Structure 1
Amino acid sequence: MQVLQMQMEVRADPAEVGRARRWARSRLAGSGIGVDEPLAETLILLISELVTNAVVHTGCPAVLRVLFPVAGAAGGARVGTVRVEVADISARPPRRRCAQGDDTGGRGLELVDGLADRWGWQREGTGKRIWCEVDRGTAAWVGAFESPHAVTNRA
């Protein structure tokens, strides 16, 4: 299965979240996803949440990676799974928090869980990689990126 992988280094600065959103929007068209598709906004929100978690909760730089099915592969660009990954050097695992009423934080992983078809994390060297996947049409290669050691939070 052919996959188009795009990657961006993220500094440990909350301003990087906006830069990651702009970067992702600029790459959607080249991946076969129109910026006016609901999938585009879902991906932007997922990227925003995962990058925010990395820079705010770890204080470490990170690497954002987005993997798209290649147009013409597996029946065309309108099918397949888009995967978003954020890897950082912090060994601290992601943790769901329980936001109350007017809290301004604590909902990130709940949003990821609600928007993604699957998500999880895995240790990587001294750090970790948190990932999520969104199926587009018939997911011809669901699970293609699964690690036997990944912690999966959705079936």
Structure 2
Amino acid sequence: MQLEIRPDPAEVGRARQWARSRLAGLGIEADEPLAETLVLLVSELVTNAVVHTGRPAVLRLSLPGTVEETAQEAEAEADESATVRLEVADTSSRPPVPRCVGSDATGGRGLALVDCLADRWGWNAEGSGKSIWCELDRCSQAGEGAAVAYGGGLSAYEDLAFEAV
């Protein structure tokens, strides 16, 4: 499933609404921790794409039980450990860059939040641009051996934030 995102801050709300509707279609209620976390991650990654590139982007969701599900994901779902994957692709080739922000800064903490909330995240080149992705293991509990592609949780990000550009 994917949603085209225009380079307009209003698109962030539309992306959250779209993600909620996809989750509801799978019987995942809006107040479930998975849904709340996924919607926050959508908000952060789409905001980064819209604000820092000023170009169109594509939001992709791979949810258990959808047509995009692979045989491996189907096995994982049978084991009650299905993974939800979120990707935001844009046409900027600039990688996410760490930056320091002061405690009074109003932004600059988006990817630090992604690192703390997702089980895994990263980025890769995609065509002439890039894709920033994160994954949530549907049945995982925070702190129970969840792999993190970058960093070591919130304490690793005091006075440091990431900017996706």
Instruction: Provide the TM-score with structure 1 as the length reference.
Output: 0.81
1:3-152 aligned at under 5 Å gives the runs 6-70=1-65, 73-74=74-75, 75-76=77-78, 78-137=80-139, 152=149
Q: Give the Cα separation in 1 of the matches to 2:98 and 2:82.
A: 28
Instruction: Please give the root-mean-square deviation of Cα atoms over the aligned residues, in Å.
Output: 2.1
Deviations 1:92-121 (A, max 9, x none): 111232221111111001000000010000
Mapped partners of 1:9, 1:60: distance in 2: 11
Moved over 4 A (4+): 75-78
Residue 162 of structure 2 corresponds to none
Identity of aligned residues (%): 67
Going from structure 1 to structure 2, the CA distance change for 1:77 and 1:31 (only over 3 Å counts) comes to farther
Unaligned runs of 5+ in 2: 67-72, 141-148, 153-165
Tell me how many residue pairs correspond in the alignment. Answer: 137
Residues 40-90 of structure 1 deviation map (CA, whole Å, 9 limit, x = unaligned): 010000000000000101111000001011189334595310000000011
Q: Quick check: which one's helix share is greater? A: 2
Q: Which of 147, 150, 157 is the matching residue for 1:153?
A: 150
1:105-155 Cα offsets, whole Å, 9 max, x none, are 1100100000001000000111000000011126xxxxxxxxxxxxx4269
Q: Which secondary structure does the structure 1 equivalent of 2:36 belong to?
A: helix
Q: CA deviation at 1:32?
A: 3.6
